[in-house]
Amino acid sequence: MNVTVFGATGVVGQALVPLLAEHELTAVSRTARDEPGARYVVADAASGDGVAAALEGADVVYYLVHSLGARDFEEQDRTAADTVAREAANAGVQQIVYLGGLGADDPDASPHLRSRGETGERLGSAGVPVTTIRAAMIVGKGSAAFETILGLVKRLPVMVTPSWVSTPTQPIALEDAARYLAGVCGNDATYAEGYDAGGPEVMTYRQMIERIAALLGRKPVIVEVPVLTPYLSSLWLNLVTPVSASVARPLVEGLRNPTVAREERIRKLLPFELTPFDEAARRALA
Amino acid sequence: MTGWETSERVLESGGFESRQRVLVSEPAVEASEAGARSLGVTYWQAVDRFTRGCVRASWTGGRGKLKLLGGATLLTFGPPELSFDDALVSCRHAIQGGLLALGAGGAVTLAQRGEGHQQELSVTVEGYLPRLAARAGAPPWTGILYAKGQSPFHAAVSLRYFELLLRGGDS
Per-residue pLDDT tens, chain A, 286 aa: give them. 999 999 998 999 999 999 999 999 999 988 888 777 788 999 998 888 999 999 999 999 999 987 666 667 778 889 999 999 999 999 999 999 999 988 777 767 777 778 888 898 999 999 999 999 999 899 999 888 888 888 878 777 666 677 677 788 999 999 999 999 999 999 999 999 999 999 999 998 888 888 999 998 988 777 777 665 656 666 666 676 666 666 666 666 667 778 899 999 999 999 999 999 999 999 999 8
Q: Point out the least confidently predicted range of A44-53, A221-230, B14-23, B40-49.
A: A221-230
Are residues B60 and A261, on separate chains, in Cβ contact within 8 Å? no
Task: Please report residues of B whose CB lies closer than 8 A to that of A207.
Answer: 59-61
Q: A273 — contact with chain B (CB < 8 Å)?
A: no
Among A117, A166, A264, the residue with its CB nearest the CB of B32 is A264
User: What mean pLDDT comes out for the span B71-93?
Assistant: 91
Q: A193 — contact with chain B (CB < 8 Å)?
A: no
Per-residue pLDDT tens digits for B132-145: 776 767 677 776 77
pLDDT at A115: 80
Give A225 to chain B, closest Cα distance, Å: 6
pLDDT at B67: 83
Task: Please determine, for residue B170, whether its predicted confidence score (pLDDT) is greater than 50.
Answer: no
Residue of chain B whose Cα is closest to the Cα of A193: B171
Give A207 to chain B, closest Cα distance, Å: 7
Task: Please report residues of A whose CB lies closer than 8 A to that of B160.
Answer: none
pLDDT at A2: 95
3-state secondary structure chain B: CEEEEEEEEECCCCCEEEEEEEEECCCCCCCCHHHHHHHHHHHHHHHHHHCCCCEEEEEECCEEEEEECCCEEEEEECCCEEEECCCEEEEEEEEEECCCECCCCCEEEEEEEEECCEEEEEEEEEEECECCCCCCCCCHHHHHHHHHHHHHHHHHHHHHHHHHHHHHHCC
Q: What are phi and psi of A188, to 5 degrees?
A: -70, -15
Are residues B34 and A225, on separate chains, in Cβ contact within 8 Å? no
Task: Please report residues of B whose CB lies closer than 8 A to that of A195.
Answer: none
Quote ipTM for the complex: 0.72
3-state secondary structure chain A: CEEEEECCCCHHHHHHHHHHCCCEEEEEECCCCCCCCCEEEECCCCCCCCHHHHHCCCCEEEECCCCECECCHHHHHHHHHHHHHHHHHHCCCCEEEEEEECCCCCCCCCHHHHHHHHHHHHHCCCCCCEEEEEECCEECCCCHHHHHHHHHHHHCCEEEECHHHHCEECCEEHHHHHHHHHHCCCCHHHCCCEEEECCCCCEEHHHHHHHHHHHCCCCCEEEECCCCCHHHHHHHHHHHCCCCHHHHHHHHHHCCCCECCCCCHHHHHCCCCCCCHHHHHHHHHC
Reference B26, options B110, B88, B119; nearest CA is B119
**Amino acid, res. A206:** R
**Amino acid, res. B81:** E
pLDDT at A177: 97
Q: B170 — contact with chain A (CB < 8 Å)?
A: yes
Task: Please determine, for residue B50, whether its predicted confidence score (pLDDT) is greater than 70.
Answer: yes
Are residues A207 and B49, on separate chains, in Cβ contact within 8 Å? no
Partners of B126 in the beta sheet?
Answer: B17, B107
Among B29, B32, B45, the residue with its CB nearest the CB of A258 is B45
Q: B168 — contact with chain A (CB < 8 Å)?
A: yes
Among A106, A194, A224, the residue with its CB nearest the CB of B70 is A224
Q: Taking the CB of residue A231, how many other CB atoms lie within 10 A of it?
A: 12
A51 vs A80: CA distance, rounded Å: 10
Task: Please determine, for residue B59, whether its predicted confidence score (pLDDT) is greater than 90.
Answer: no
**Amino acid, res. A26:** T
pLDDT at A232: 66
pLDDT at A246: 65
Residue of chain B whose Cα is closest to the Cα of A117: B171
pTM: predicted TM-score of the whole model, two decimal places? 0.83
Give A51 to chain B, closest Cα distance, Å: 30
Q: A211 — contact with chain B (CB < 8 Å)?
A: no
pLDDT at A245: 64
Among A107, A196, A206, the residue with its CB nearest the CB of B60 is A206
Which of B8-12, B86-90, B102-106, B164-168: highest mean pLDDT? B86-90
